[in-house]
A and B are shown apart, each in its own frame.
Chain A
């Protein structure tokens, strides 16, 4: 009998079709609508940004893995996802060197130096973004111009819809515009309807569950009203949708358990509103999610589920 190919493995011998690479592919598919909308709105600029960010993220990952003599894991798609998210966070007109620096920080410092996909505490794309956000603002204060190089992006950011939150909504884009139109800001701020579409796909494909996005959006909505701001405007404007569906839900940097995820969403939502209302408008979502990331180990410990049949000690 033809039994030459038998393999010995531990059980189970069946497995689902789930694969990390498939999940990352799903994330890319889910990002397609907003990416296309960005390309339509910003054409050449968006295309250039996406190419630089994705290309450099993949390049840095390749080099980092080679240098550390680890298996090259480009095919898991996580570097491409990081690059694309980074591009979507940035404004259309930004010097290419900024993007390369952000991408280097994201992939090499945040991800690979922490041990590779699965070990990082902070969301790589967000960390890279915040790094140049702070860096260019800091540099701007003594070099006299914006950013590391001419064409830095704080100037662009100033005209975004988020700016209206702090200073009143006089002349701000309408809800409909926020849902469907291009109104300035990052290249992903071209209608959050497209992001919702992608988010729904991710939930349908069970890549993410609803807990984190829903708690973030609900928290921002309710807290904004409590503090006398327009909650609906708050969740539609700026990067809240992108952050809630695509970044706070990042597997690696979000809590494992449902209750932990709910508290995580709550923390992020509260931070977003407070930073927007009382701090500077730029990067509120990014800062908030990174703050949330820092709480993850704690949340995983605090919300460890009770084992089946375990009774709480009286």
Chain B
């Protein structure tokens, strides 16, 4: 077998994708109450457009973006606004949210008369993305219209669709690749037009060869779309690693992919862009993989934004075993939840329940300088020295060892024999360094 494309460093965690990869996407039940955060993304929070007691229709804009780096939010159900109140989001931070009581019966989504996708201009596509409230759906949730507005001095020639899904357990992107192949390719080509690129590369990890075959057979009719197979390794789907693996270009520290003429978008986002452009559908639902050894029947559910996690878990037959971690997102970068009330947001790719057999809550001990964290860090940082400097409050040093370049993939902590939670220290160092720079 030929060498697969990849990057240097990284880890091979247990993937456990087989729990859910064979499960076709099916709609999740409509909950008795949806909670839609007015801030679902990186950037400024939205202002509510509705008030208590208002009737709303599914897809209606209920929160308006107040700044450029922001995205509007839409009602995910038809119903009545019950309250506008502060609710904790998946990180535990309290955010203003619109609580809606859905009607007993929900209307089918009516596709708007289609536009001719080939004739859309870059400007029009950006506007569509913005109005539909699109954000990166891989977890980071950066507003899409901002990302596809390239700086005028940095021409972009390559659009990369991140179809690695390198997070263990998650399979929502895999399902989209299989079930929405044409829509994904169409969405990817819209992204290409939006940034004026000349080609699209879809990067898929080698553990999804069925998706590679599907994509290749559909993409063969487009000369501007390539499908590339990548080594199965975490974090293959990290922007900088992916760009390097596919194009050999290295994004310099502190710079964005546009620096090397690339735009990276997630599978879900590309499909959502297609839906917004072709059907006039705003982003109010998404595929969420509900999985893990603690879930009775893992599934890929098409869930309305604002659906509490508990409803998704019930739809999967409830819990089994002794659940110790309830994670929003993937097990490498996701957030543990204190209960199952948390609502799904646009960036929620998965809900993973880990049982006691899979959770190793070892106690943090002293760094023994084994160098394993250095070996696995895909950014070639020195995680151990970042931690050491952070513990001593030496913020200049923490920065020198690479605190600001860490994108919190967690490889270092995964490998560390001393159970050091590097990511936690890095976050602290980043906050301190940022605070100091402001002064």
Cα–Cα, bound, A2→B413 (Å) = 29
**How many interface contacts (CB-CB < 8 Å) are there between A and B?**
159
Q: B348-384 interface mask toward A, CB cutoff 8 Å, 1 = contact, 0 = none?
A: 0000101010111110011111111010001111101
A3 within 8 A of B: yes
A251 touches B370 (CB 8 A): yes
A19 within 8 A of B: yes
Interface hit among A101-109, A111-119, A218-226: A111-119
B421 within 8 A of A: yes
Partner of A9, one of B310, B378, B384, B421: B421
Given contacts A11-B333, A11-B408, contact A256 B369 (CB under 8 A): yes
Give B169 Cβ to nearest chain A Cβ, in Å: 9
Q: B380-419 interface mask toward A, CB cutoff 8 Å, 1 = contact, 0 = none?
A: 1110100000000000000001100100101101111111
Which residue on chain A has the smallest CB distance to residue B335?
A11
Give B347 Cβ to nearest chain A Cβ, in Å: 15
- Not counting A3-B340, A12-B414, A257-B371, a sample of 16 additional A-B residue pairs whose C-beta atoms are within 8 angstroms of each other reads A1-B318, A5-B324, A6-B324, A6-B326, A8-B338, A11-B332, A12-B332, A12-B410, A13-B332, A20-B368, A20-B370, A22-B417, A118-B366, A304-B401, A307-B402, A308-B250
Given the complex, which residues of A lie within 8 Å of B381, measured CB to CB? 307
A45 within 8 A of B: no
Given the complex, which residues of A lie within 8 Å of B319, measured CB to CB? 1-3
Cα–Cα, bound, A11→B90 (Å) = 13
B361 touches A11 (CB 8 A): no
Given the complex, which residues of B lie within 8 Å of A119, measured CB to CB? 366
Interface size on B, residues (CB 8 A): 72
Cα–Cα, bound, A115→B391 (Å) = 15
By DSSP majority rule, is chain B's interface helix, strand, loop, or mixed? loop
Q: B314-338 interface mask toward A, CB cutoff 8 Å, 1 = contact, 0 = none?
A: 1000110011111100011111111
Give B266 Cβ to nearest chain A Cβ, in Å: 19
Cα–Cα, bound, A305→B367 (Å) = 19
B53 within 8 A of A: no
Cα–Cα, bound, A118→B369 (Å) = 7
Given contacts A251-B371, A308-B378, contact A16 B366 (CB under 8 A): no
B410 touches A11 (CB 8 A): yes
B331 touches A14 (CB 8 A): yes
Given contacts A1-B340, A3-B319, A118-B367, contact A16 B384 (CB under 8 A): no
Give A208 Cβ to nearest chain B Cβ, in Å: 9
B374 touches A256 (CB 8 A): yes
Partner of A14, one of B13, B378, B380, B405: B13
Given the complex, which residues of B lie within 8 Å of A305, measured CB to CB? 374, 380, 382
Interface residues of A in 269-314 (CB under 8 A from B): 304-311
Interface residues of B in 228-285 (CB under 8 A from A): 240, 244, 250-253, 255
Q: A1-37 interface mask toward B, CB cutoff 8 Å, 1 = contact, 0 = none?
A: 1110111111111111011101100000000000000
Given the complex, which residues of B lie within 8 Å of A254, measured CB to CB? 369
Given the complex, which residues of A lie within 8 Å of B339, measured CB to CB? 3, 6
Partner of B310, one of A1, A8, A12: A1
15 pairs, A vs B, C-beta closer than 8 Å: A1-B313, A6-B339, A7-B336, A8-B337, A13-B327, A14-B331, A14-B332, A15-B415, A23-B417, A118-B365, A118-B367, A254-B369, A309-B251, A310-B252, A311-B252
Given the complex, which residues of B lie within 8 Å of A7, measured CB to CB? 324-325, 336, 359, 361
B423 within 8 A of A: yes
B337 touches A6 (CB 8 A): yes
Given the complex, which residues of A lie within 8 Å of B354, measured CB to CB? 13
A154 within 8 A of B: no
By DSSP majority rule, is chain A's interface helix, strand, loop, or mixed? loop
Given contacts A256-B371, A256-B374, A308-B380, contact A9 B361 (CB under 8 A): yes
Given the complex, which residues of B lie within 8 Å of A14, measured CB to CB? 13-14, 168, 331-332, 358, 414
Give A155 Cβ to nearest chain B Cβ, in Å: 38
Given the complex, which residues of B lie within 8 Å of A308, measured CB to CB? 240, 244, 250, 253, 378-380, 405
A20 touches B338 (CB 8 A): no
Given contacts A11-B408, A256-B371, contact A3 B424 (CB under 8 A): no
Cα–Cα, bound, A106→B410 (Å) = 35
Given the complex, which residues of A lie within 8 Å of B380, measured CB to CB? 305-308
Cα–Cα, bound, A312→B383 (Å) = 21
B148 within 8 A of A: no
Given the complex, which residues of A lie within 8 Å of B340, measured CB to CB? 1, 3
B132 within 8 A of A: no
Cα–Cα, bound, A309→B366 (Å) = 31
Give B399 Cβ to nearest chain A Cβ, in Å: 11
Interface residues of B in 135-187 (CB under 8 A from A): 168
B46 within 8 A of A: no
Given the complex, which residues of A lie within 8 Å of B416, measured CB to CB? 15, 18
B417 touches A18 (CB 8 A): yes
Cα–Cα, bound, A269→B339 (Å) = 58
A73 touches B365 (CB 8 A): yes
A15 touches B360 (CB 8 A): yes
Which residue on chain A has the smallest CB distance to residue B352?
A13
A252 within 8 A of B: yes
Cα–Cα, bound, A23→B414 (Å) = 16
Cβ-closest 4 pairs across A and B: A12-B410, A118-B366, A309-B250, A10-B424
Partner of B414, one of A15, A76, A309: A15
Q: A230-263 interface mask toward B, CB cutoff 8 Å, 1 = contact, 0 = none?
A: 0000000000000000000001111011000000
B11 within 8 A of A: yes
